[in-house]
Amino acid sequence: MHDERRRIEERVQRAHDQRIKPAIYAATVPFEVEAWQAPGEPVSFEEAAAARYTPFAMDTPWGPPWGTTWFRMRGQVPAEWAGKRVEAVIDLGFVGDWPGNQAEALVHLPDGRPLKAVNPLNQYVPVANPATGGEQIDYLVEAASNPDILKDNFSKITPMGDKLTAGSAPLYTFQRADLAILDENVWHLDLDLQVLRELMVHLPDHEPRRHEILHALDRAMDALDLDDVAGSAAAVREVLAPVLAKPANASAHTISGVGHAHIDSAWLWPIRETKRKTSRTFSNVTSLADEYDDFIFACSQAQQYEWVRDNYPHVWARIQDSVKKGQWAPVGGMWVEADGNLPGGEAMARQLIHGKRFFIEHFGIETKGVWLPDSFGYTAAYPQLAKLAGNDWFLTQKISWNQTNKFPHHTFWWEGIDGTRIFTHFPPVDTYNARFSGEEMDRAVRNYSEKGGGRRSLAPFGWGDGGGGPTREIMERARRLADLEGSPKVVVEHPDDFFAQARAEYPDAPVWVGELYLELHRATYTSQARTKQGNRRSEHKLREAELWATTAALHAPGYSYPYEKLDRLWKTVLLHQFHDILPGSSIAWVHREAEAEYARVAEELEALTAEAVAALGAGGTRAFNTSPFDRAEVVRTGDRALAYVEVPANGSAALTGAEPARPVGVSGRTLDNGLVRVEVAEDGTLSSVFDLRAGREVLGDKGNLLRLHTDLPNYWDAWDIDSHYKNRYTDLLEPTSVEVVSEDPLLGAIRVTRAFGKGSTITQTITLRAGSPRIDFETDIDWHEAEKILKAAFPVDVRAAHSSAEIQFGHIQRPTHTNTSWEAARFEVSGHRWVHVGEPGYGVAVLNDSTYGHDVSRTVREDGGTTTMVRLSLVRAPRIPDPEADQGTHRFTYSLLPGASIEETVAEGYSLNLPLRVADAAGAPEPVVSVDGQGVTVEAVKLADDGSGDVVVRLYESGGGRASGVLRTGFPLAGARITDLLERPLETAPVEDGGVAVQLRPFQVLTLRLSRAGVS
């Protein structure tokens, strides 16, 4: 037989594109269209309905950046269309190939009810099936002219990322607004051809099935009347029916399709636009559910549900109906799809708590899995937190983006830092916007790593980010692929069903231990430093407000615990932990608003804390310690005078004039407090840090060396830092001034000022306090660089086999060598309040109050000693998608802690991030809780969310070993129960001698619910 593949494939392609597809709509009549440009921000339907509209013609430009244009569309179904399937077809002038990053619209009925959205790949609105003829159609269409921010494929900066800089020129040209007859025979033929042709081209040449399909397509084209596509469509489909009816192989892979519409809660659009994106997509989804009984849609992010509930009650009601029918599956159990590395431990717990509670309260459904397809790596704390929230499974997709190493599993058990395991799946289709194309189906099977162990994988399908979600075309593809020879089988089902079956067929799946590190997007630990600082400060201020509000509620008559305010503020912080806000990868508008929100949150939390402390009474100056560790520190009083105070964990103490053992001595550029001696060189670096307690030098080279690197990644500017950044740099070694600014016996300080680059300045106050070995670098930067990253380096004279970095409820160890490509790929990593390096008997920590990115490396000096280099990433200057990212002022502190154990490092990390609060108070009761025993760390103290008056305490083991102790209370204790994260009792905790005995395995998180005597 002659090889005619090329002829046939080209024949099919042309006939499909030029004859069949244009014939899907058999006849059209245009709408009469009028328009009204809403001024400023979006308006309500009622305001839009009352506006004055003017005639609008097709092919007319419309839509300034971030604008809203309302279109009134009126039409009548012709009488001769009776019995036909009639739809409205609307093309706003869609551009490019990204359906979720451009114009979108929501179609309303005259009474204000949202009907369906219009999107680039979902342009129809159902009118009648069948039509009776003569129907009057009246729509009010809210169209958003969102700019295509990345239309130049990351190659050009753009001012379009903020309404303040985007201009007003129209972005789109309206193309079509018609009533049309959908020819269902032609539409189905179009799908038959697409599915078969895509299957064919991805089958190997030697497969008989490929050639069988090829010749069936050729015969089908013979049956097609090019002059009467509609009239011959049924006959063509009959030719194709036999090849579409052949069942899949008995051993065919099974793909569980789950409807999905990944909607970033903010990214290349502001939060206000996400609220509208959700309404549009969810309108589409509920409309599709009415049409396809076998359709199931999985949707995460409780925050987005709440937006729809509050702003689109009709859409909310339709969602509730779909949930009851089993077609809508709330998943994920988190407030938003948060970043997987940067949120603090308690914040990550609250993501799960608030998300799961929302779905339980509003749908009576407890979600069973963590759904995070798009976050940029995943902390090793996740398995334990997920299980403590009642989850059985974990799903992500993003690890498929690895730059260097292919992750070895798709279905596996993921083991966290405490030993908890959770069943985990990475869809081998390598997308969370699947459409069941032939390429995707081939990739899913070819890519699947568990062949021979498992036989199924999951594929989230639908257009995301406002692209409209799943479509009827994708559902039709799924139906054709349900049992088709040469293809994997496709079944549309709930993700819980997939995970149950996958676990049952592969219970002994392999185990991956530790973090799921994404070998890409490493710069998200640093970009948009002010957003990250706002998050860190908010997390700690929330802890502070809850602790002192609890103290006041227990001991101050008449004080009322601020449940609603704290709930609202937590949700604001949780929202901004979304995986394109907190990582710093959004447009300028998003980060401008985030910074303003963090400032508002800080002001409100400061007021709540002050109110709680004031409720304890007035009469003397006291220091309040929100840290879970006892502290002896130098503080500034209300008149800025210095004082030394010793304060118990979670408690307070009067400023009684206690004195440290040794004052700080300042001599030239040397600071000495009897614990450490710090020498500052003429160039402003540290020439020596000598640990007087251990009798050893801490540094192996210049300390606090500031190095400015060129930072132009290959592709994703705000997201990535590529390893070549290390090759070009400038060391900042020419200070403007080095001067002593404090010689107080309690605090010595030397200030170093530098000017560099394009008008940037950095001022650092190097501070040593009495009684503490911690050296602080209080830093003020006025930053005006572009495509640069600033690092602060500490070359530590220890031979460290690994570094330890704090993560949520514990820490993770990473090798300092680069023996394999896996270690080499971790050239930039994340941590929270500290990173620690050490050798047996001696360790050094670098602490921070708002920095997350760092790198650790190791070299051997000429003298044979080893220098372990710890470098903090301080600030970056990407230009895409925000051309002004990080420009301007920054203020933060980082610290060097010589001679530190892990336990001391943990304590100092809390101290740096939770400064002592000095306030007027007559006296304070005992701490709400205290712990006898080491290693048991109190993370949160609050009243139970149900208003019962119970006290909830979250504890964890912070050192990486076993810990035991007794939790004691500052109130009469009636009983204690161990609960899950949602404060639901699991078992009774033993109460002995007025305290609760606690035993923890390494890094175990434990939530205790304490009932108070005399409170019913």
What own/partner pairs with CB < 8 Å and gap ≥ 24 does 475-478 have?
475/288, 475/292, 475/294, 475/295, 476/188, 476/191, 477/191, 477/194, 477/195, 477/435, 477/436, 477/437, 478/257, 478/436
Write down the pLDDT at residue 656.
Answer: 80
Q: pLDDT digit string (tens) for 132-165? A: 999 999 999 999 999 999 888 878 899 999 999 9
Q: Hey, what amino acid is at 390?
A: G
Closest to 67 (Cα-Cα) out of 38, 101, 92, 98: 38
CA 584, CA 576: separation in Å to the nearest integer? 10
Which residues on neighbouring strands pair with residue 172, listed in sequence order? 62
What are the structure tokens assigned to 733, written together? 């070694």
Q: Look at residue 875 and tell me whether its pLDDT is greater than 80.
A: yes
Average pLDDT over residues 378-398: 97
pLDDT in tens, 497-512: 999 999 999 999 999 9
Whether residue 128 is predicted with pLDDT greater than 80 in this model: the reply is: yes
CA-based radius of gyration for the chain:
31
Q: How far apart are CA 869 and CA 823, in angstroms?
A: 16
The Cα–Cα gap between 545 and 562 comes to 9
If one counts every other C-beta atom within 10 angstroms of the C-beta of residue 428, the result is 23
Residue-wise pLDDT for 691-724, tens only, equals 999 999 999 999 999 999 999 999 999 999 999 9
Q: List the single range of 10-14, 148-152, 831-835 with lowest mean pLDDT.
A: 148-152
CA distance 524 to 873: 11
Residue reference for tokens 């998003």? 590
2 band by pLDDT with thresholds 50, 70 and 90: confident
Per-residue pLDDT tens over the stretch 954-1006: 999 999 999 999 999 999 999 999 999 999 999 999 998 889 999 999 999 99
The helix or strand, by DSSP H or E, that contains position 284, with its residue range, turns out to be helix 271-291
Q: What percentage of the chain carries pLDDT values higher than 70?
A: 100
**521-546: buried (b, 16+ CB within 10 Å) or exposed (e) per residue?**
bbbbbbbbbbbbbbbbbbbbbbbbbb
β-strand 297-299 against 328-330: which pairing, if any?
parallel
Q: Quick one: what percent of the chain has pLDDT higher than 90?
A: 95
Q: How confident is the model at residue 1016 (pLDDT cuts 50, 70, 90)?
A: low
Shortest CA distance to 825 belongs to which of 789, 804, 861, 855? 855
pLDDT for 472: 98
- Identify the CA nearest to 195 among candidates 4, 10, 435, 21: 435
Q: Tell me, what's the pLDDT at 362?
A: 98
Rounded Cα–Cα distance for residues 617 and 948 (Å): 25
Please write down the HEC assignment for all residues of 967-997.
Answer: EEECCCEEEEEEECCCCCEEEECCEECCEEE
Q: How far is CA 735 from CA 668, 724, 967, 997, in A?
A: 17, 27, 51, 55
Taking a C-beta distance cutoff of 8 angstroms, is the pair 764, 777 a contact?
A: yes
Q: Is the pLDDT of residue 34 over 70?
A: yes
730 forms beta bridges with 708
Q: What is the pLDDT of residue 1014?
A: 81
Per-residue model confidence (pLDDT) at position 992: 85
Among 186, 191, 194, smallest CA distance to 12 is for 194
699 DSSP assignment: B
What are 699's two structure tokens? 């540094």
What is the DSSP code string of 714-756? SS-TTT---GGGGGSEEE----SEEEEEEEETTEEEEEEEEEE
Task: Return mean pLDDT, the chain.
Answer: 97
Residue 641 in this model has a pLDDT that exceeds 90? no
Tokens matching residue 823: 């270690």
- Mean pLDDT over residues 737-741, rounded? 98
Q: How far apart are CA 222 and CA 238, in angstroms?
A: 12
CA distance 906 to 903: 5
pLDDT (0 to 100) of residue 67: 98
> So what's the pLDDT on residue 279?
97
Cis peptide upstream of residue 815 (ω within 30 degrees of 0): no
pLDDT-wise least confident of 5-9, 404-408, 608-612, 823-827 = 5-9
Q: What is the DSSP letter of 884?
A: T
Task: Using the CB atoms, write b or e for 97-129: b if 16+ within 10 Å.
Answer: ebbbbbbbbbbbeeeebbbbbbbbebbbbebbe
Report the C-alpha gap between 937 and 940 in whole angstroms.
9
**pLDDT-derived band at 755, boundaries 50, 70, 90:** very high
pLDDT level of residue 805 (50, 70, 90 thresholds)? very high
Measured between alpha carbons, how far is 765 from 742 in angstroms, rounded to an integer? 10
- Tell me the β-bridge partners of 288: none
**Close Cβ partners of 667 (under 8 Å, ≥ 6 residues apart):** none
The reported pLDDT for the residue numbered 96 is 81
| pLDDT higher than threshold 90 for residue 618 | no
Q: How far is it, in rounded angstroms, from Cα 932 to Cα 212?
A: 76
With beta carbons less than 8 A apart as the criterion, state whether 181 and 25 touch: yes
Q: Nearest 5 degrees, angle CA 362-CA 365-CA 367?
A: 120
Q: What is the DSSP string of 299-367?
A: E--HHHHHHHHHH-HHHHHHHHHHHHHT-EEE-S-SSS-B-SSSS-HHHHHHHHHHHHHHHHHHHS---
User: Of 518, 525, 523, 517, which Cα lies nearest the Cα of 714?
Assistant: 523
Segment among 5-9, 319-323, 656-660, 752-756 with least mean pLDDT:
656-660
Catalytic annotation, residues: 374
Give the pLDDT of residue 658: 75
Dist CA 989 CA 674 (whole Å): 45
Residue 615 Cα distances to 14, 227, 920, 953, angstroms: 79, 86, 11, 22
pLDDT tens profile 200-220:
999 999 999 999 999 999 999
Does residue 640 carry a pLDDT above 80? Answer: no
Q: What is the pLDDT of residues 459-514, one digit of tens each?
A: 999 999 999 999 999 999 999 999 999 999 999 999 999 999 999 999 999 999 99
Full-prediction pTM beyond 0.75?
yes
Question: Residue 248 carries which DSSP code?
Answer: P
Residue 1 scores a pLDDT above 70: no
Read off the pLDDT of residues 88-97 as tens digits, 9 standing for 90 and up.
999 999 998 8
Determine the average pLDDT of the residues in 748-759.
98
Query: What DSSP line would sit under 539-561, residue for residue?
Result: HHHHHHHHHHHHHHHHHSTT---
